[in-house]
Amino acid sequence: MHPLAEKYLRKSALPQFFCQGCGDGTIVTALMRAIDDLGIIDQVAFASGIGCCAWIPVFVNADCIHAMHGRAIPVATGLKLTDPSRKVVVFAGDGDCMGIGGNHLIHAARRNIDMTVVMVNNAIYGMTGGQTAPTTPHHATTKTTPIGNAEFPFDACEVAKAAGATYVARWTTAHPAQITRALKEAINHKGFAFIEVLSQCPTQTGRLIYGSGDPVEAFNTIKNMAVTKAQAARMTPEELVGKVIVGKLHQVEGRAELCDEVQALMSQKGEGLSSDARLVS
Amino acid sequence: MEQVMVIQGNEACVRGAIAAGCRFFAGYPITPASEIAELMAEMLPRHGGVFMQMEDEIASICAVLGAAWGGAKACTATSGPGFSLMQEGFSYAVSSETPCVVINVQRGGPSTGQPTSPSQQDIYQAKYGAHGDYEVIALAPASSQEAFDLTVKAFNLAEKYRVPVFVMSDEVVGHTREKVRIPQNLYVRPRQKPSLPPGQYVPFRAGPNGLLDGMPAFNQGYKLLVEGQLHDETGNRAGTVVDASAKLVTRLCSKILKHDGDLLDVDGRFLDDEPEVVVVAYGSPVRPAMQAVRQARAAGIKAGCLKMRIVWPFPDEEIAKVAATARRIVVPEMNVGKIVREVDRAAHGRAEVIPLPKLGGALHTPAEILAAIEGGYVRASAS
C-alpha cells in the first residue's frame, strides 16, 4: 500500500466501491495529500451527505459523520459551533448541494461560517442510476429526461459567491495537484469556502449524457471542458460555449466569520465560550 | 438553594434543558413554541452555550445532531409543521444513536391547523412519524413543573439510551404560567466517556442491555464513523448484510422496550381501593381529569386516575393492572382518540375502554370527563 494510503485510509471501510474510472478516487488522494501537508488529521471533522462522493471522507481515517441527503452542511454547522477549532470539511454532490440541500448551502455561505464545502459535480444523480440533476446540461438526456432536459443548470460557484462564500474555486479531476492546493487554501481560509470539482462518472454521465461509458472518454470530456481564467479571457463567447472556467474564482479576506462573531457577542453580552473554545461541560 | 418561580411551561422547558446541561440549541420560529427559542437565545450565552436560528426545521435538527457529536448536549423545539420536517433527522438519530432532545409544543393540525390552540395530535408521530422500524422515548408534561422536570429527565434518558427523546408538551402547558420549584439537587446524567481508549474502543458495540459504552466526541482521537446506513459495531456500512442489519434494528428497538424500569413513569391517584372507573390521561387533560375524579369520588363514585408521564414506550403492564380491577377506563385526549387504542390493546378486553376525544383546540372540561366517568358516553365538541 502507498505510504499515504497506509497512513490515512480507514482500513475497516475498504475496499472502496467506486466504479472503474470514477473520479472520486482522485479526490480521496488529493484530500489525503492536503491533510498530510497541513498535518491536521486530528483536527479535521468531516460531514457528508448521500451520493457517491459522500463516501470520499468515509474512506479517510478521521472523524466523519455520513449524514442525510442534502443535510451535511447543517450537521457541519453544529460540529463547528461546538468547537470552532475544528477543521470542518463537507463533501456533497451536486444533487446534495444544488438540489435537496441548496437552502443549507446558501445560508451557510451567508453566515460565512468557517468550513470547506467540496461539491463533487458529475452533472447527474449517479448513485440512484442516472437521473437529471440541477447541474445537468440543457437538453441532455438522462433516465428522467429521456427526451432531453428542459431545464438549465446552476453554476454552483456563482450561487455560492452570490450567497456570500468568501473563497470559491473550481477544478476538475484532471487537476489533482490543483485540487490539493485548493483544499489547503480553503481549509486555511477563515470563512465559508466552496470548491467545485468536476468529476467524471463514466457509468452514468458518460453513458447517458456523453454517449460513451468509456472512462478515458469521460475523463477527457471533462478535461477538455476546463479553461483557466487566463485562457477564457482570450476566448470569444462562441468559443466559450460548453467550456467551464477553472481556478480560484473568488476570495475575500477579513469578512467577519460566524463563530468569531458569536464568540465576540457572547464575550460582550454573555459569559463567552470556555477558554479552550469547547462547549463540552 | 431551591428556587421558586412563576413561569410558563415553555420557559420551564428552557430552564430544565439548561439545568440538564444543554449547551446547544438550534431552532426555527413557530407558534406556540417560539418562546423556547427566544429564551434559549437569551439564556444559553450566559451559560456558555450557543443558540442558532437555522434556515428551517430540517437544518435545526441536523445542527443538533452535529452538535451532539461535537460534544454538546443539544436540543431543539418546534410544533406540528416543524415536527413533520424534522422526522428524517429523528430517524437518523435513531440509527446513528445520537442523543438529542426535541420539545414539541403541540398545536392543532392537520397542516397549518391551529397555530395558537392546543392538541395532542402528534403523539403517534413521535413514535411512528419517521421511516423505518425504531423505538423512541416520549414524555408528556401536564404542568409547568412537569415541563421542567421532564425536560431534565429527557436529557438524562437521551444520554443513557442514545435516542431522540421527545417532550410532548402542548399549547396549554407551554403558555400556562404557574409555580415551578427548581430543586437544589438535581440529578443530571453527564455524557458518559468511553471506557476504552482510541484503538480499543468500538463505538457501536453494545453491552448486554443493548446500550453503548459511552459517547466520544469528534476530535478526541477516536476517528469515529457515524453512519445512518445500517452498520456494524465499528460504524461501517452493513446494509447489505442481512444478519448484521437485523441485529442492529433489533437492538435499537429492544434497548428501549427492554429497559431497566426507568422508562416507566406513571402516577396513579386514587387507585388503592380498586376503583370501578379509571381515567387514563397524559399531558394537559390530566388536569381536568384529576378534577373530575375528585368530583366523582365526592359524589360517591369509586374513580381513580392513571397519569402517564412517559407515553412511549407504552406502559402496557400498568394499564393491564388497572384493567384487571376496573370496569371502565376513560381516555380523554385532545385528538381523535389515539392513545386510547394502546390502552384498549393493553387492557385486552378486561375493561371497557372509552375514548373521550376533544377536537377544536380546547382542553376538556372537568364536567365532560365527569360525565364519561358517570357512565354517559360524551362525545366532546368534535362534531
Q: Quick: pLDDT tens for A236-278.
A: 999 999 999 999 999 999 999 999 999 998 887 655 444 434 4
Same domain, yes or no: B153 and B18? yes
Instruction: Using the CB atoms, write b or e for A181-215: b if 16+ within 10 Å.
Output: bbbbbbbebbbbbbbbbbbbbbbbbbbbbbeebeb
Name the B residues in 222-251 with CB < 8 Å from any A CB. 222-229, 234, 236-237
Same domain, yes or no: B157 and B279? no
ipTM (interface pTM) = 0.96
Axis crossing angle, helix A156-163 with helix A102-111, rounded to the nearest 10: 40
Q: H/E/C letters for each residue in A57-103?
A: HHHECCEEEECCCCCHHHHHHHHHHHCCCCEEEEEEEHHHHHHHCHH
Same domain, yes or no: B13 and B128? yes
- Confidence at residue A273, expressed as pLDDT on a 0 to 100 scale: 47
Q: Is residue B381 part of a domain?
A: no
Name the B residues in 264-303 with CB < 8 Å from any A CB. none
Last residue of a domain, one of B146, B164, B182: B182
State the smallest CA–CA distance between residue A248 and chain B in angstroms: 28
Name the A residues in 205-224 with CB < 8 Å from any B CB. none
Same domain, yes or no: B20 and B169? yes
The grid coordinates of residue B175 equal: 403558555
Question: How far, CA to CA in Å, does A266 sit from each of A77, A259, B47?
Answer: 18, 10, 10
CB within 8 Å: A81 and B218: no
Same domain, yes or no: B31 and B165? yes
The grid coordinates of residue B327 equal: 370496569
From chain A, the residues in CB contact with B221 under 8 A are: 42
Q: Is residue B189 part of a domain?
A: no
A11 touches chain B (CB under 8 A): no
Number of domains in chain B: 2
Q: Is residue B248 part of a domain?
A: no
From chain A, the residues in CB contact with B60 under 8 A are: 74
Question: The domain that contains B333 carries what CATH number?
Answer: 3.40.50.920
How far apart CA A229 and CA A240 sit, in angstroms, is 11
What are the residue ranges in chain A where pLDDT is below 70?
Answer: 269-281
Q: What is the mean pLDDT of chain A?
A: 95
Same domain, yes or no: B41 and B133? yes
A83 touches chain B (CB under 8 A): yes
How far apart CA B51 and CA B68 sit, in angstroms, is 14
CA–CA–CA angle A268, A273, A277 (5° rounding): 135
Same domain, yes or no: B18 and B144? yes
Same domain, yes or no: B281 and B164? no
CA max distance for chain A:
61
CA max distance for chain B:
68
**Pick among A75, A106, A110, A115 to test the B interface (most B CBs inside 10 A):** A75
Q: Is residue B212 part of a domain?
A: no
- Confidence at residue B367, expressed as pLDDT on a 0 to 100 scale: 97
Last residue of a domain, one of B157, B182, B207: B182
- Confidence at residue A269, expressed as pLDDT on a 0 to 100 scale: 67
How far apart CA A18 and CA A189 sit, in angstroms, is 30
Q: Is residue B166 part of a domain?
A: yes
CB-CB: which of A64, A83, A271 is closest to B70?
Answer: A83
B205 touches chain A (CB under 8 A): no
Question: The domain that contains B158 carries what CATH number?
Answer: 3.40.50.970
What are the residue ranges in chain B where pLDDT is below 50?
Answer: 377-383
Same domain, yes or no: B174 and B319? no
Q: Is residue B193 part of a domain?
A: no
Q: Is residue B310 part of a domain?
A: yes
Q: List, in order of start, the domains of chain A with CATH numbers.
A: 39-264 (3.40.50.970)
Last residue of a domain, one of B158, B182, B206: B182
- Residue B22, SS3 per DSSP: strand
A40 touches chain B (CB under 8 A): no
- Confidence at residue A266, expressed as pLDDT on a 0 to 100 scale: 84
- Confidence at residue A268, expressed as pLDDT on a 0 to 100 scale: 78
- Confidence at residue B375, expressed as pLDDT on a 0 to 100 scale: 84
Structural domain boundaries enclosing B328: 266-374
Sorted by sequence, the CB contacts under 8 Å of residue A211 that are 6+ apart come out as none
Q: Is residue B187 part of a domain?
A: no
Name the A residues in 105-134 with CB < 8 Å from any B CB. 107
How far does CA A113 lie from the centroid of its chain?
15
